[in-house]
Structure 1
Amino acid sequence: MTAAPQSGEFRTPEDRFVFLHIDLNSFFASVEQQLHPEYRNRPLAVVPTNSDTTACIAASYEAKAFGVKTGTIVGEAKQKCPGIVLVEGSHTEYAKFSHAIAEAVERVCPVSHTPSIDEMVCQLMGREQLPENARRIAYDIKQAIYQDVGEVLRCSIGMAPNRYLAKIASDMQKPDGLIGLLPSQLPRAIAHLDLRDLPGVGARTEARLNAQGIHTMPQLLALDRQGMHKLWDSVWGDRLYHWLRGHVTGDDGAPVPSEIQKSLGHSHVLAPEHRTIPGSWAVAHKLLHKAAMRLRMEKFYAGSMALHIRFALNREQAERLRSKQHFSGLKHTGWGMEARFPDAQDTLTLLEVLQKLWQKRPQGPDFEKPFFVGVTLGRLLPESHHNPGLFADQDRRSQLSSAIDQINLKHGHTTVHLAGMMSARDSAPTRIAFTQIPVQYGSEWM
């Protein structure tokens, strides 16, 4: 491979494909149809809970034909598609399928990046980059997934000289698409796209571009490099200018990684039976149990904890208090507080912190119907940087947590747990991860 260019430089490659971006089509819904043949060729939506007020996590292409998509409220989905099949999502199954698909892809071409649970990127080398060879590799990847994992699972593959364009190409033809964008075809090959088709351009960015007179892709592509830099007021504009023309800039459209993970945690929209103060406390306890176990599995200590609670409001309360509207239509008000403490990773110490935060929550008639709880551990410190304490009690607590972890890793993550989460032991299951790549700890996934 040619060495990465120096700052401010780029090179225009030959008509070759350097990256393949594999996008699994309607992944969660397709997994359910693979597991349940009776759901195939039927409109199906994956939901977090069986409630009309929650939102669809994913929809099959049969459901999309009726206008049901990710984010559609379940009650609205039922109106649009009366016969829709609703399935509560299984993080464990989706994680297993994601890993199985990665193994199938690896049989054809090494996976160099995994941006999310339903995306993979392969970097081609040498003669693999020739268009005819790259296309053969792409077809072989599709066939490997079909043969090794399941006939229902389809993917769209984008081929391009850089990762940014490969991602764009993977979205241009769904389902089961294969699109290549060569430098000689650019930028005209993408001139028909909408601004929102560009990775990183959401509603807010689009509004900012519109305010500066950019409403279409041809208008954006007509800008020179200086114009793109000015439009974004950052080096991102320079990069985008080169990426959209098939140039190789050295970073290939990859996201900039943070140097160290800064936090981890879990949140949960409460089931109706847990929308009470005792019920929400039990769920918060369960969330901390999961977060503390992850903390130890990922070999971190935490120095802070944040607790967030949202309370459902009736009409009179919503008018009187500062309220927001949940995507389900529920009016609510929120509260949150952070506590800092000496670095810890054992569950008992962290539970004491959670109890102190819980006691400081707002109380009274306006705060009696919690419907959302979130627990986040922050100020993470790698185990290698932690200074052991001088007190025996800390050692005993760490040994207890370690012993509990060994049992739970073997028999299930809630086999041994503290009594406070008993009523919520089976609630707040591990939720579907879009950007977090699932990791298996023992017999379960997180």
Structure 2
Amino acid sequence: MTAHLGDLADFIAASPSSFHAAHESARRLEAAGFDRLDETAEWPTGPGRRFVVRDGAVIAWVEPEAAVPQIPFRIVGTHTDSPGFKLKPKSTTASNGFLQAGVEVYGGPLFNSWLDRELELAGRLVTLDGTEVLVRTGPFLRIPQLAIHLDRGVNDGLRLDPQQHLNPVFGLGDLSGADLLGHLAGLAGVEAADVAGYDIVVADTAAPAVFGLDDAFFAAGRMDNLVSVHAGLAAITAAPLDASHVSVFAGFDHEEVGSATRSGAAGPFLADVLARIADGLGATESERLRGFAASWCFSADAGHSVHPNYAERHDPANRPVMGRGPLLKINAQQRYATDAAGAAEWARACAQAGVAYQEFVSNNTVPCGSTIGPVTATRLGIRTVDIGVPLLSMHSARELCAVDDPAALAGALTAFLAPA
């Protein structure tokens, strides 16, 4: 557990944006002996460990030695993005002697959690010739909160206008001598005039930390959903070559904004990869569909632990507590894709791994969130199960889990890709 948690902390620190997460995933996969493929090239056939990156998403797979055209797939699905803020065009603004970054909301962050933190800009720049370069600033910005002396009622209710109150400061002066994009270009080693586009997000820079009585807690930014990405990477790198299925890890982008992109779960990325694997096996359409009918996907995303200060917001009978194992996520409206057969498949994986698990269901008066699970089930027709690590402070700039749960999730996913 200690080694897994330390490696998770390193992975989170290396992944301030989805593009950095995909890059770090690729680095780890190559170190584990996976071959990187180009989507525009012919792909090799036969057994092997391979992966492909599409923008801020990555898919890796292990094709076994005895693969047949109708072979099923076992898929771990995750997402690389996290809620926060994204840099606008005309990114440098100024107000009353302060230089500020123009940002817009990405996904559903807890606004107040981003106040008074040292933040960074991170993501990719694309030059006129199509070259993509990653960049990150380190501690560079801050969203300062208004002092209580100027808002005496703030503790009775804080309302933050996303246009007016959430623009970070990064310097002093006016627009005559400031160029935020130029600063990013300089850090990336390219000319500012050559930058034709960018995808830059804001990220918290505080290092992950273990704390509490008996070191019970682990806190970090972007645990939704880098905990699952990291666990999925651990599972795929341990997947065997003598299996009777193709093991797949998918880290999609843009889940926090609906997944409807070329690198999101609602897009064609996974379907494209699976089709090319099946084509390499010489599968007919009928054989490919036979394989899909025997396939499984575990959609691994963060879930909710019961909150000790807001217990009434949770279901009165189903109250999972972080530290007691990962979650099986269930919803009658199919906001999660789990059904009875999926619950049994999850139970088998956890039993094989020696991992305890808990069920999560929403309070009937609280709307349920969703994941890539229903999207994947609908997109591919593959049986899908929603699972994940329980958190407190989900969508905060800094989230909280129990130290044992990330390794437990990785163990269950590893067993799923290598069933006894």
Same fold (TM over 0.5): no
- Rg larger in structure: 1
What TM-score results when the alignment is normalised by the length of structure 2?
Answer: 0.26
Higher relative contact order (Cα pairs below 8 Å, separated by 6+ residues): 2
TM-score under structure 1 normalisation?
0.25
The structure carrying a bigger strand percent of its residues is: 2
More helix, by proportion: 1
